Structure 1
Amino acid sequence: MSKRTSVAETVSKPKKKELEQLVVDFLTENKDKQFNYKQIAAALNIRGEEGRRVLVKALDRLRDYDVLLETSRGRYRLNNRGLILEGRFERRSNGKNFFVPDDDANIIYIPERNSKHAMNGDRVRVQLLAKRKRADTEGAVVEILERAQTRFVGVLEVQKYFAFLVMDSKFLANDIFIPTDELNGAGNGDKVLVEIVEWPEKANNPVGKVIDVLGKPGDNTTEMHAILAQYGLPYRYPGDVEKAAELIPEKIDEKEIALREDFRDVFTITIDPKDAKDFDDALSLRKISPTLWEVGVHIADVTHYVRQGDIIDKEAENRATSIYLVDRTIPMLPERLSNGLCSLRPKEDKLCFSVIFELNEYAEIKKSRIVRTVINSDSRLTYEEAQTVIETGKGDFSSEILVMNSLAQKLREKRFANGAINFERYEVKFNLDEKGKPLGVYFKESKEANHLIEEFMLLANRTVAEFIGKVPKGKHAKAFVYRIHDIPDSEKLDTLNAFILRFGHKIKTEGNKVEVAKSINSLLDKVQGRPEENLVETIAIRTMSKAVYSTKNVGHYGL
């Protein structure tokens, strides 16, 4: 038992459940032993008369709940039949509900009659029940600790004196009852977002109120908003956030420009998907000597417009990311910023944070610097347009694009020579009509134009990570979040090798990183166009460690 601070000093009546859980944890660790209250107090580091009095009351309650057995006067042990566990409730519409304990032990069946109206994903406290012959272990929800979801999407059925929400969710079998004064302007047949406000213990249906009217079922925007609402994702911006964004001046102050490196006369382009509406990165190129090129990687400087702690920043923090759907983007920032002030549109002055590189003709980096800049993009190209220039050597800005592509290809060759892994998966894309209905499906292939942007973005990211990661002598490392990718597990590599042997392939599972990576790349090249291509690529990807975010920089194996 780990040493604990005195519970007498920290436990009060509002925290009695915390003490009860400590007692249960201790007796669970010693489930075949009996203890008196003095032994339990000593184990939990409870001192003083007040602390022991609180403990005795907790023991009495746990005994009354059948969690503990009082084997003799003042001596207790865990009652396995009445054991109370905490974990996650999983609801099924057919009433076959389950409880998953926090320790990931065997799941426990919860009959609907014992569910206490818990909903899918709720954190609950469950008491184990006596196991019947040839039956699964059963439990009963005794307390709902935290609701995972209280809002649901569905179609409204309005009757004379009340209404019901017929839900899209498969996790709640009971329709939600809605009083007519809680319809919020919704009508019969509308798709709406409803919040559950209560679920009386003896009622079959929860009671809710309409939060938002999404529209008519089948309408593309309605259905897209319904998907977002069902998963608790934002689909509209609060009015006060939109208003704050509108108040930001469009004109850039000359004093701000004077503080930055001026790249407005340097050749600069953006290359993005044809359906992109926000252009947040750009590349610039100029020759600075007979043997040196300067390449700038420019990222829109959002920090100039959004200040830490302001209303826009708080909304962005709440959203955490932009969301990309088939036919639209739900931006992390209001559209005035994401598609306007911070979009690097051509022929407009824009503020950026930039990494500037000096490279020779072999793509060897001679110098780099990280600076605030002002740019003015010469053109907005799609990947398809840039690819045509690369393949034909003709078109607007062909000489500059060909130089950047040549440098990018050399950077790419070096990455793979140093052990990067070439996982090239086709991305599924949809052709949509003007109403957002799908007309067809196609595979998006990554070509040189994609690699051009990819290589310089990777180079910029690596340079920033190296800059932040440097620790000056006598200083502490800066707190920073890195995207890391650990080395693959050797057992998983052995499993992959055993799997691909049936197709006549083999990889190197031992040796240094470069040797193993080259072996995997060779495998991926060999399966191209073969029947097993997709299967082998999928298994190979699953063999790799997952890329995660961490404050501990262990590098990125795949790159």
Structure 2
Amino acid sequence: MGKKGGKKAGKRMKKKELAEIVLNFFHAKPTETFTLKYIFSELRLTTHPLKMLCVDILHELLADDYIVEVEKGKFRLHNQGKELTGIFHRKSNGKNSFIPDDGGEPIFIAERNSAHAMNNDKVRVVCLAKRKNKEKEAEVVEILERANDTFVGTLEVSKSYAFLVTENRTLANDIFIPKDKLKGGKTGDKAIVKVVEWPDKAKNPIGQIIDILGKAGDNTTEMHAILAEFGLPYVYPKSVEKAADKIPAEISEEEIARREDFRKVTTFTIDPKDAKDFDDALSIRKLKDGLWEVGVHIADVTHYVKEGGIIDKEGEKRATSVYLVDRTIPMLPERLSNYICSLRPNEEKLTFSVVFDITEKGEVKQSRIVHTVINSDRRFTYEEAQQIIETKEGDYKEEILMLDTMAKAIREKRFASGAINFDRYEVRFEIDEKGKPISVYFKESKDANKLIEEFMLLANRTVAEKIGKAPKGKKAKVLPYRIHDLPDPEKLENLSQFIARFGYKIRTGGSKTEVSKSINRLLDDVHGKKEENLVETVSIRAMQKARYSVHNIGHYGLAFEYYTHFTSPIRRYPDMMVHRLVTKYADGGRTVSENKYEDICDHCSNMEQIAANAERASIKYKQVEFMMDKIGQVFDGVISGVTEWGIYVELNDNKCEGMVPMRDLDDDYYEFDEKNYCLRGRKTNHTYSLGDAITVKVARANLEKKQLDFVLVD
């Protein structure tokens, strides 16, 4: 530390440089007291002008309450500051911040005061005395809990050591790996590295390799890297698979005798063409004129997966299956998800069912929740079922057409009571055997999809009502609900102002139903217009995210007072919890611990979000890969996002999204107007707004960063 002053002592040093040196000097020994003489000698301030400059700086620091004069001529850092705990956010540009647990304003933490805390670590900080005209600062004094000590990147190996180069936006420094911790990794390998230490004086953290994923650029390597980046598992533990292999697939006569038998009732599944885990089937039979019995049969997963067992624990930890572009990472071992529990045709299966007596107009006369055994007659893909609905010809056409009629009636009622109708298409890739995307297509929700959706919604809602609607004077038993809060009023106000530009209106006040009906009207009005996608996007941003909780507040988007997830236990853990609790309560069991189940609900909500982010990253990767050979080509698109660092553009042909960086908008100085979703030029007043049609040329495709760069075409 002392050397810094010495190097420049002969020359005139700028005040700012010396101030930095003086600050660092006090921070290095935050509890010690120094005399002026000691400070001069340690910082090697040998000339009179430098000493005077130093005294000047000390007086300013005193005035700012940054240091204190303990007694005449003796100084120490003023760190009698408030201690806080919270979360540290690391930024690769050095603008680190600290978010206090009590939800106060973020506090800036300079790199020198970060104690090498990593992103999202839980830390204890001391607030530093505030300097005049400077933002509030704090210093990390203890790392209480590491959030994430593993990173994914590409190896660069030299003779005696190696580095992991990460694309992580929070880590400015590559990770140093000693030669003996390389596990045979070579340059160009993708690897997962655990940071083991980050010494005080070292610029780089030191790590060791946990796993080599394979060669960068190889499809499976890259998909595993995406999973690892989000902390998701990419292999199934052998011990859990072994446990699943021991589960017998045969169904005993005693088990069948305990259940309601639907094996002779017409039953089928309707699923995507590439699905292997069929977790729901529908049965239908006529009871009398105008009245039908419809069974929604769900794989009875918890009959096979015992609570607290090794398979259950792994399922709870994963909480959801993850669907990347080219593969499914199942929540449960494949023997269960694709074989024993999957409702495959012409096989006897154990199910947990919601059975309705229902009219052709979709009115439910009564319902029951029962354990059943089924034997599916036919497996339909959505496309096959759709064809039957459109042509009125094909296997089980009477049954499918009747279910379609009912579903349409139920759906209409749902929208009449204020459900919100977001009908989004999804982008899908046609992929060759090496995982390379060869074409893009759009997955739309048609009648066959909606038929299944309506009966699943009905079953989920019925289960939630059965448990949640307690008799007068009684408290409902604990159940995980799927809840969805009202839109954020501020965001609704923003949406209202934004759509006014296109001549649309929505209600931002009034009852829940009035607000949602006005949103539906808006979605109807923009249907087929050029701003449709844009208005939908901004409307979705005004919505809250649905999540799991034992505290029911209803589901705003579906307009249901009670709603849960019951229909997909093969791929979602909350559904397994609901199956177990419904069974337990039906057998007269007592209610379970609210706190314990709320914790699991939180975990499941978080994992759902992480899985969705990984899914998006895999789509992003494939989009960039798909565009690799289109550099220099020109496309029409629409502005899909506006930020202070540039504009995002979605191409009309293939929905791939890329960015025109701010630095390339060089005809003016553009400012970001957050409220109106636009960039505005200072001189020309020219704007780039969300939803504007725009023509771009593909400039760069960076697979590592999953980033497409476009340039504007005049």
Counterparts of 1:167 and 1:543, CA distance in 2: 34
* Larger RCO, structures 1/2 (Cα 8 Å, 6+ apart): 2
CA offsets 1:385-439 (integer angstroms, 9 cap, x no match): 1111111111222221111101111111111122222121222222212222222
Counterparts of 1:508 and 1:98, CA distance in 2: 38
Q: Report the CA distance shift for 1:70/1:342 in structure 2 as closer, same or farther (over 3 A).
A: farther
Counterparts of 2:409 and 2:69, CA distance in 1: 76
Secondary structure of 2:351 counterpart = strand
CA offsets 1:158-187 (integer angstroms, 9 cap, x no match): 333333322232322333233333333434
Given that residues 417 and 514 in structure 1 are in contact (C-alpha distance below 8 angstroms), is that contact kept between their aligned partners in structure 2? no
Secondary structure of 2:501 counterpart = helix
My pick for the range that moved more, 178-187 or 454-463, is 178-187
Alignment of 1:352-391 (within 5 A): 352-391=351-390
| Post-superposition offset of 1:216 | 1.1
Given that residues 344 and 350 in structure 1 are in contact (C-alpha distance below 8 angstroms), is that contact kept between their aligned partners in structure 2? yes
Q: Report the CA distance shift for 1:171/1:520 in structure 2 as closer, same or farther (over 3 A).
A: closer
Given that residues 242 and 334 in structure 1 are in contact (C-alpha distance below 8 angstroms), is that contact kept between their aligned partners in structure 2? yes
Residue aligning to 1:141: 140
Given that residues 360 and 402 in structure 2 are in contact (C-alpha distance below 8 angstroms), is that contact kept between their aligned partners in structure 1? no
| Post-superposition offset of 1:492 | 5.1
Counterparts of 2:106 and 2:176, CA distance in 1: 31
Given that residues 162 and 180 in structure 1 are in contact (C-alpha distance below 8 angstroms), is that contact kept between their aligned partners in structure 2? yes
Given that residues 323 and 329 in structure 2 are in contact (C-alpha distance below 8 angstroms), is that contact kept between their aligned partners in structure 1? yes
Q: Report the CA distance shift for 1:393/1:310 in structure 2 as closer, same or farther (over 3 A).
A: same
Residue aligning to 1:448: 447
Given that residues 164 and 178 in structure 1 are in contact (C-alpha distance below 8 angstroms), is that contact kept between their aligned partners in structure 2? yes
My pick for the range that moved more, 169-178 or 427-436, is 169-178
CA offsets 1:61-81 (integer angstroms, 9 cap, x no match): xxxxx9999999xxxxxx787
Report the AA paired with residue 360 of structure 2.
Answer: E
| Post-superposition offset of 1:133 | 5.5
Q: Report the CA distance shift for 1:165/1:536 in structure 2 as closer, same or farther (over 3 A).
A: closer
Counterparts of 1:497 and 1:369, CA distance in 2: 43
Alignment of 1:29-428 (within 5 A): 82-132=81-131, 135-428=134-427
Residue aligning to 2:485: 486
Given that residues 279 and 342 in structure 2 are in contact (C-alpha distance below 8 angstroms), is that contact kept between their aligned partners in structure 1? yes
Given that residues 278 and 342 in structure 2 are in contact (C-alpha distance below 8 angstroms), is that contact kept between their aligned partners in structure 1? yes
CA offsets 1:347-391 (integer angstroms, 9 cap, x no match): 111111000011122221112111111111122212111111111
Structure 1 residues not aligned, in runs of 5+:
1-65, 73-78
Secondary structure of 1:503 counterpart = coil
My pick for the range that moved more, 238-247 or 509-518, is 509-518
Secondary structure of 1:458 counterpart = helix
| Post-superposition offset of 1:311 | 0.4
Work out the percentage of aligned pairs sharing the same amino acid: 67
Secondary structure of 2:117 counterpart = coil
Secondary structure of 1:407 counterpart = helix
Secondary structure of 2:263 counterpart = coil
CA offsets 1:211-249 (integer angstroms, 9 cap, x no match): 112111111111111111121111111111111011111
Q: Report the CA distance shift for 1:506/1:177 in structure 2 as closer, same or farther (over 3 A).
A: closer
| Post-superposition offset of 1:515 | 4.1
Counterparts of 1:493 and 1:149, CA distance in 2: 35
| Post-superposition offset of 1:534 | 2.0
Secondary structure of 2:438 counterpart = strand
| Post-superposition offset of 1:549 | 2.4
CA offsets 1:430-451 (integer angstroms, 9 cap, x no match): 2212222222323221111111
Given that residues 273 and 381 in structure 2 are in contact (C-alpha distance below 8 angstroms), is that contact kept between their aligned partners in structure 1? yes
Secondary structure of 2:92 counterpart = coil
Residue aligning to 2:580: none
My pick for the range that moved more, 457-466 or 432-441, is 432-441
| Post-superposition offset of 1:508 | 4.2
Report the AA paired with residue 354 of structure 1.
Answer: S
Structure 2 residues not aligned, in runs of 5+:
1-64, 72-77, 559-714
My pick for the range that moved more, 183-192 or 252-261, is 183-192
Secondary structure of 2:498 counterpart = helix
Q: Report the CA distance shift for 1:180/1:489 in structure 2 as closer, same or farther (over 3 A).
A: closer
Counterparts of 2:186 and 2:498, CA distance in 1: 57
Report the AA paired with residue 172 of structure 1.
Answer: L
Report the AA paired with residue 394 of structure 1.
Answer: E
CA offsets 1:125-159 (integer angstroms, 9 cap, x no match): 22333555654433322211111111111222333
Secondary structure of 2:440 counterpart = strand
Q: Report the CA distance shift for 1:138/1:361 in structure 2 as closer, same or farther (over 3 A).
A: closer
Secondary structure of 1:355 counterpart = strand
Report the AA paired with residue 437 of structure 2.
Answer: P
Residue aligning to 2:458: 459
Alignment of 1:515-534 (within 5 A): 515-534=514-533
Q: Report the CA distance shift for 1:514/1:118 in structure 2 as closer, same or farther (over 3 A).
A: closer
Count matched residues: 489
Counterparts of 1:506 and 1:474, CA distance in 2: 43
Counterparts of 1:276 and 1:87, CA distance in 2: 43
Residue aligning to 1:503: 502
Report the AA paired with residue 141 of structure 2.
Answer: V
Counterparts of 2:509 and 2:128, CA distance in 1: 51
Given that residues 67 and 84 in structure 1 are in contact (C-alpha distance below 8 angstroms), is that contact kept between their aligned partners in structure 2? no
Q: Report the CA distance shift for 1:95/1:522 in structure 2 as closer, same or farther (over 3 A).
A: closer
Residue aligning to 1:540: 539
Report the AA paired with residue 464 of structure 2.
Answer: A
Given that residues 67 and 83 in structure 1 are in contact (C-alpha distance below 8 angstroms), is that contact kept between their aligned partners in structure 2? no
Counterparts of 1:536 and 1:227, CA distance in 2: 31
Secondary structure of 1:82 counterpart = coil
CA offsets 1:429-481 (integer angstroms, 9 cap, x no match): 22212222222323221111111001000100111011111324664320111
Counterparts of 1:171 and 1:490, CA distance in 2: 32
Secondary structure of 2:234 counterpart = coil
Q: Report the CA distance shift for 1:153/1:357 in structure 2 as closer, same or farther (over 3 A).
A: same
Counterparts of 2:140 and 2:508, CA distance in 1: 49
Counterparts of 2:96 and 2:512, CA distance in 1: 47
| Post-superposition offset of 1:100 | 2.8
Report the AA paired with residue 522 of structure 2.
Answer: L
Q: Give the structure-1-normalised TM-score.
A: 0.81
RMSD: 2.7
Q: Report the CA distance shift for 1:515/1:475 in structure 2 as closer, same or farther (over 3 A).
A: closer
| Post-superposition offset of 1:95 | 3.2
Secondary structure of 1:304 counterpart = helix
